[in-house]
Amino acid sequence: MSTDIGAVQEVTAGDCTDCYYLDVNMYDTEGYGSVYILDDDQPAVIETGLGTNYELILEALDELGIDRDELAAIVVTHIHLDHAGGAGLLAEACPNADIYVPAAGAGLLIDPTRLVEGTKNAVGDQWEFYAEPEPIPEDRVVEIEDGDHIDLGEHELRVHAAPGHAFHQVIFEDLANDAVFVGDAAGIWIPETETITETSPPSDFDLEECLEDVETLQSIDPDVLLYTHFGPREVGDDADAALDAYATVLSEWVAAVESKRAALEDDEAVIEHFADTTDKADVWGERKARAEAVLNTRGVLGYLDQRD
């Protein structure tokens, strides 16, 4: 799959307007990490990537004719560093932008010390793909929570809590575009194969809350899902079915890990099993596919421990 790294692509799904995205080559993997730009009266960047390649976002703003001092909003669905790692770097480059962060995690971007430690523990040698996040000045941060609105002009982002993937996650409903910036609440969309797959990293993954988040998305009933991983997906009148499919994928994934744990009685063996049997190597490459499987398996094992 070739996505032309860094190229600005207009979102043409559904009736979307003023919305663009680019592939920031997250983890040196094409088709895995996207960042969105809404070119409105108050222009906004939604999601920021790992911090590596953040210059691609600045170049995209230049291409769209958005001066860096005119960027009004940097918006993240949650503080995991594949979504918020570039926020501080963008804040430095775009001095007039407010940084909209879910209130539950805002302090960890103002002082990212603990966030960095936790991420390093979770991702292991994948840390080489991350940039050290820059602290965000507290007076630049706007804390958001369920029910809030971000007014950009023609587009208003409505905030909905979605804590299943992480307690600090929200999603953003763009009413004008009948679209939702889903963060990780709707799984990982693989455009190349038109498949949806699980995301269940440690340490906050909770299956029941994830399924409630799916119901939240179904209640919104959007025409377009805007995935951070990866890209826009038009679902039209089939939003319920598309989201039901993710609920099934996620539930079956958790059941598979639980079953393998019972059979092997050794968590490290369980993790190795799913790393060895991943079917995503042809899409993301062997290293990223294995790392994804390890992270997702560990997240489910932690969830099972807490549930039991």
**pLDDT tens for residues 174-202?**
999 999 999 999 999 999 999 999 999 99
Residue found under tokens 């951070």? 228
For the segment 272-299, what is each residue's pLDDT rounded down to a tens digit?
A: 999 999 999 999 999 999 999 999 999 9
pLDDT in tens, 52-106: 999 999 999 999 999 999 999 999 999 999 999 999 999 999 999 999 999 999 9
Residue 151 CA from chain centroid, whole number: 21
Complete domains list, the chain, with CATH? 9-241 (3.60.15.10)
Mean pLDDT of the residues in the chain: 96
8 A C-beta contact, residue 235 and residue 217: no
Q: Is the peptide bond before 251 cis (omega within 30 degrees of 0)?
A: no
Rounded Cα distance between 44 and 73, Å, is: 5
308: confidence class by pLDDT, cuts 50, 70, 90:
confident
Helix or strand (DSSP H, E) at 294: helix 286-307
pLDDT higher than 90, residue 23? yes
Position 1 scores a pLDDT of 41
Higher pLDDT, 71 or 4: 71
Q: What are the pLDDT digits (tens) for 132-164?
A: 999 999 999 999 999 999 999 999 999 999 999
Region at 265 (left for phi over 0; alpha for psi -120 to 50; beta for the rest): left
Residue 2 has pLDDT above 80, yes or no: no
pLDDT greater than 80 at residue 124: yes
Residue range 302-307: average pLDDT?
96
The per-residue pLDDT for range 222-253, each reduced to its tens digit, is 999 999 999 999 999 999 999 999 999 999 99
Structure tokens at 253: 């994934």
Beta-sheet pairing, 231-234 with 141-144: unpaired
The CA-atom distances, in angstroms, between 188 and each of 117, 140, 142, 152 are 25, 30, 27, 27
pLDDT of residue 69: 96
Q: What pLDDT was estimated at residue 59?
A: 97
| CB 209, CB 299: distance < 8 Å | no
